[in-house]
Amino acid sequence: MNTRREWLQGGAVALSLTAMGAAPGRLLAQSTSAPLAAAPAIGERVAWPVVHLLDGSPVEPPSPGQWASVIIFFSTTCPFCARHNAHVQKLMAMTRNLPLRVLALAQDRNEAHVRTYLQRRSLTFDVSMDHGPMRAALARMNGVPLTCAVDRQQRLREVIRGEMFEQDVLGLTKWART
């Protein structure tokens, strides 16, 4: 049974797609297709893809033991993501001396819009627009915000759908210590 939030999100996506002149039923069916099925289960190793940050630099897969990762999927048009990303910024500032990497993946198509969004909100964590390969490697579900935690042994530990409270986001530092 869908929750009210899932129902509203589905309607908002369909309305947005219709406004862009797309056929929402066909696109929504495609968005839940095979690439998401390849994601690991909780506790399994992550097969990291190489993604590129907005500045073009690659993010290579970490070696086991090197660092834990918190990966956030977001959209610049999502109000829940805006609040969530403010908590993620605090997480990043709090973990400067810990082996934890914060990486956000914008699901937008316009890089200039993403850059403006980050600047207006004073967000300084690493951002990539290579959300497709990373989502396929991490999460079987769609939606934003979506937060994934990977421990230092490169095992998927958490996949959290939706906006998180600040203390829960800050609690993700535990994976840097494992």
- Tens of pLDDT, residue by residue over 120-177, are 999 999 999 998 889 888 877 788 999 999 999 999 999 999 999 999 999 999 998 8
Report residue 169 as tokens.
């986001």
- Tens of pLDDT, residue by residue over 41-90, are 999 999 999 999 999 999 999 998 999 999 999 999 999 999 999 999 99
Give pTM, 2 decimals: 0.77
Mark out the alpha helices in 37-127 (DSSP H runs).
79-94, 111-120
Task: Centre a 10 Å sphere on the Cβ of residue 161 and count the other Cβ atoms it contains.
Answer: 16
Domain at 42-177: CATH code: 3.40.30.10
What are the residues facing 146 on neighbouring strands?
73, 161
Which residues, including other chains, have CB under 8 Å from residue 35's CB and lie 6 or more apart? 132, 135, 136
Domains of the chain, by residue range, sit at 42-177
